[in-house]
Structure 1
């Protein structure tokens, strides 16, 4: 997501820094901050012993233009009658849309595949314990020229109203 000038929700400004800026996202997407069990997660399967399975819907544009508003969308898979009841109760205060379950799970690695262990994770975690936040970020995620260029490009595309289509185009190019 990208921060939009003046955009608010319930009277408060939305926080929406990108992966090139947000410290949590930088560590998360580098697979440095995952819990050890995440590298061999026993629950990574389509059908689970849980009431609901929830995860980010980064490609919501594939199935719903109305929910593609750059505020984040969560997929929810109902796994039990209790899960259906919970979702029914939430429907009065959450914006929801039912979609085809097979379309929702198609090509979704994070539902069935564990993340790969970053070989530097232990080193990162030792630094988390020993460095302050600024020292940690400067060491692991310096604000390099490349990062500044990515941030500038994201903010510029957002202000021009072309961030989402450009992001999809770049993803297509990278996959080829």
Structure 2
């Protein structure tokens, strides 16, 4: 019988699910809302393909970045809308213009976060902005396979562990391009849903803004309008409080194999924190960090370079300000408290018990601001 990676190591990349010829593996959610593979031993023929393809059980091919670039979209309106320089949206747009197909993370009603297939510029708008939650990708493998079989160029944008899964499934396919996001860790969509009041969840939510350049960084969109009753600074949001304090991450994030200087995707993108001695003067409008790791990554960057202001930077500058480019995020001393309480008390109460000082400070700050 095949042996998959352990519960603590499994990233939920779903490669095992995708490669099983007997459809003997399903992806099922644990009590915390994270997807894990489950083998139906009545269907399993013990071909061990799932074990052979698991990226956690086999050594990956990593490369030191060839170029480190600070850049931003010259179109100031688009730059501000994208919140971190705009490289992701711009790259996706140019890839589509060159008859490519994009797979990226999007909010899908009624309330889920998953990867979708994009073939138009309009679709790409759904991918825009940061997503501080794990996206489901297991249903996209079949679509990617169909696209690659018809010789279409495919760009997959996701977390490093998702990239590892995609590469394990499709090997070194010449039409597959990969872009990884600098990732601190991923909570589950279940945590996000439980952090939002039930009366708000009943509304027709179309989009979530996790970050913006206004004072309200976290907001929900209903029929193209921001819900006035649910917009707040990140520091005053219960979900983001759990994220920033590192107590809601998937267990595998705490020992992430992909949080390292060497990279696994063609290109790595994120916020360029810690930028020093630069000609860029309006850093607060967002600056993208781009690591070009392969020739394919260089090809991707060249697609959109004419629309970017860019300058090369030393890798050390990026490393010093981005912990996930060096090692996994350190485990919070309150992580186990939250995990122990959650099955009994749910998200909100478990968060209160795990972070009483921080939640109290958040509520006092909110009260003082609104009762002057």
State the TM-score, normalized to the length of structure 2. Answer: 0.32
Q: Distance in 2 between matches of 1:83 and 1:103?
A: 20
User: Comparing both structures, which one devotes a greater share of its residues to helix?
Assistant: 1
Larger relative contact order (C-alpha < 8 A, sep ≥ 6)? 1
CA distance 1:39–1:96, shift in 2 (3 Å): farther
The superposition leaves residues 81-132 of structure 1 with CA deviations (integer Å, 9 ceiling, x where unpaired) of 111222333457x755233133542523331122122243233234444545
**C-alpha RMSD of the superposition:** 3.8
| 1:44 Cα offset (Å) | 2.7
Counterpart contact for 2:261–2:325, Cα < 8 Å: yes
| 1:32 Cα offset (Å) | 0.9
Per the alignment, residue 233 of structure 2 pairs with 17
Equivalent in 262, 266, 270 of residue 55 of structure 1: 270
Counterpart contact for 2:272–2:288, Cα < 8 Å: yes
Q: Does 1:4 align with 2:206?
A: no
Per the alignment, residue 294 of structure 2 pairs with 80
Per the alignment, residue 255 of structure 2 pairs with 40
Greater gyration radius: 2
Q: Distance in 1 between matches of 2:305 and 2:225?
A: 23
Q: Distance in 1 between matches of 2:316 and 2:277?
A: 9
Q: State how 1:121-160 maps to structure 2 within 5 Å.
A: 121-141=335-355, 143-144=359-360, 146-148=361-363
Equivalent in 90, 113, 135 of residue 327 of structure 2: 113
Q: Distance in 1 between matches of 2:331 and 2:367?
A: 30
Q: Distance in 2 between matches of 1:35 and 1:152?
A: 32
Per the alignment, residue 168 of structure 1 pairs with none
CA distance 1:86–1:38, shift in 2 (3 Å): same
The superposition leaves residues 27-46 of structure 1 with CA deviations (integer Å, 9 ceiling, x where unpaired) of 12222122222222222322
State the TM-score, normalized to the length of structure 1. Answer: 0.58
Q: Distance in 2 between matches of 1:102 and 1:137?
A: 37
Counterpart contact for 2:260–2:324, Cα < 8 Å: no
Q: Distance in 2 between matches of 1:104 and 1:33?
A: 29
| 1:51 Cα offset (Å) | 0.9
CA distance 1:140–1:122, shift in 2 (3 Å): closer
User: Comparing both structures, which one devotes a greater share of its residues to strand?
Assistant: 2
CA distance 1:122–1:48, shift in 2 (3 Å): same
Unaligned runs of 5+ in 1: 6-10, 156-176
CA distance 1:138–1:83, shift in 2 (3 Å): same
Q: Distance in 1 between matches of 2:303 and 2:225?
A: 26
Q: Distance in 2 between matches of 1:119 and 1:101?
A: 34
